[in-house]
Amino acid sequence: MIPRTVYSAEHELFRATVKRFIAEEVMPYHAEWEKAGQTPRELWLKAGAAGLLCCAIPTEYGGMGGDFLHTAVLIEEFAGAGATGPTFYLHSDIVAPYVLAFGTEAQKQHWLPRMASGEVIGALGMSEPSGGSDVQAMRTNARREGDDYVINGQKVFITNGHTADLLILACKTDPTARGKGVSLILIETDRPGFKRGRKLEKLGCKAQDTAELFFDDLRVPVSNRLGGEGEGFAMLMTQLAQERLIQAIRGVACAESALRWTIDYVSQREMFGHTLADFQNTRFELADMHASTLMQRVFVDRCVELHLREELDATDAAAAKLVATNLQCQVLDRCLQLFGGWGYMWEYPITRAFADARMSRIGGGATEVMKQIIANSLLPKAPRGGKSK
């Protein structure tokens, strides 16, 4: 096995803390959370007390003052355990970085310490029913009235939508423009005019809180805006590489765990007087999946190293997400097949992981969008209609 060199001894000590937290505070209750459709607020407070939230946020704002490797450890361990319910990565490593990078000092002092403690849960409102990945075409609008914005519209597929106290809302402050008309506004979810819709019933990731959100003449002060008016799309683009790298890390960790579960199962399962592990087909399947997963692990670790140096570009992040999430789904499908009928039973981790994995090729930008990003870096952009000259 090729040794991993990206983590220090300090990160491995942190990994032990994360493993213990998952074993004691998450896995005994995860099945209950899947039935409830969300994780309890108490878990967020426990995670905050254990130092597992906002790890890369500076200590002056209540965070641990760590780096992205602490984030990567958390993502790997939760994904590897099949613990898809607690969406700490979204809160800590997608939402909080927007506040840190683009918020005023007052906004950072007000929100980040409470996000690090788990007192405030964050969410990001981008996707809409009319178009998920086409952020520039969003219809939710914020009309300026004096010192307020009046917001109308709706969002869908919003993770943490039902529990969030703070929503970073992407909306149009100039409906006549595309990307240059998008702004990011901080929304306190107890404001009049904010309404949560139904909990969405999903194929997998059932313990994740996923919601529809509605805005009906919701008023917020202009001081709630992140950055300048019309700068939202550019701000979103600066954070997407990290979001896609997170999905790649999750994908590889999940594939590695699926292989471990499957090796354990086939080594014990008897058939025709032998274990499944004795059959050449089983051995070749596992060998092929191990080789593919190992190759992807090395590439993703390299992307993490580049990201730590702020050298990971959007194309390489898209490539990491594209290949890692495709591999995740392929490995889960092949591993489930080796479990036979038991692979179709919800009580087995492989079954839940199979259902959970399908989201990874959509969340953080669909597979087709990743291909488009990569293609645009290789070839002249095709004109509308899809035909190049």
CATH number at residue 97: 1.10.540.10
On the question of pLDDT at 373 being above 90, the answer is: yes
Average pLDDT over residues 155-172: 96
Note whether residue 4 is domain-resident: no
221-261 pLDDT tens trace: 999 999 999 999 999 988 888 999 999 999 999 999 999 99
164-201 pLDDT tens trace: 999 999 999 999 998 899 999 999 999 999 999 988 99
Q: What is the pTM of this model?
A: 0.92
* Residues 342 and 249 occupy one common structural domain: yes
* Residues 84 and 102 occupy one common structural domain: yes
Closest CA to 122 of 73, 184, 164: 164
96-117 pLDDT tens trace: 999 999 999 999 999 999 999 9
List residues with catalytic annotation: 243
Which of 229, 263, 296 represents a domain boundary (last residue)? Answer: 229
Closest CA to 34 of 94, 85, 74, 102: 85
* Residues 355 and 248 occupy one common structural domain: yes
* Residues 203 and 240 occupy one common structural domain: no
Q: Are 70 and 142 in contact (CB under 8 A)?
A: no
Count of domains for the chain:
3
User: 3-state class of 149 per DSSP?
Assistant: strand
* Residues 241 and 373 occupy one common structural domain: yes
- Alpha-carbon gap, residue 352 to 27, rounded angstroms: 13
Closest CA to 370 of 240, 275, 268, 253: 240
- Alpha-carbon gap, residue 263 to 350, rounded angstroms: 12
- Alpha-carbon gap, residue 372 to 65, rounded angstroms: 36
* Residues 39 and 137 occupy one common structural domain: no
* Residues 166 and 293 occupy one common structural domain: no
Which of 168, 198, 229 represents a domain boundary (last residue)? Answer: 229
Q: Helical H runs in 194-279?
A: 232-268
* Residues 51 and 183 occupy one common structural domain: no
Q: Grade residue 384 by pLDDT with cuts at 50, 70 and 90.
A: low
Cβ-proximal residues to 232 (8 Å cutoff; 6+ apart), any chain? 170, 171, 182, 183, 184, 226
Mean of all residue pLDDT scores within the chain: 94
On the question of pLDDT at 2 being above 80, the answer is: yes
* Residues 239 and 351 occupy one common structural domain: yes
Which of 197, 229, 261 represents a domain boundary (last residue)? Answer: 229
- List Cα–Cα distances, 365 to 298, 318, 360, 369, 372, in angstroms: 23, 9, 9, 6, 11
Domain span including residue 136: 123-229
Q: Are 262 and 275 in contact (CB under 8 A)?
A: no
User: 3-state class of 226 per DSSP?
Assistant: strand
pLDDT at 320: 97
Q: Are 364 and 325 in contact (CB under 8 A)?
A: no
* Residues 368 and 258 occupy one common structural domain: yes
* Residues 207 and 327 occupy one common structural domain: no
- Alpha-carbon gap, residue 233 to 180, rounded angstroms: 7
On the question of pLDDT at 291 being above 50, the answer is: yes
Q: Grade residue 329 by pLDDT with cuts at 50, 70 and 90.
A: very high
Average pLDDT over residues 319-336: 98
Closest CA to 312 of 231, 234, 239: 239
Closest CA to 6 of 317, 328, 299, 322: 299
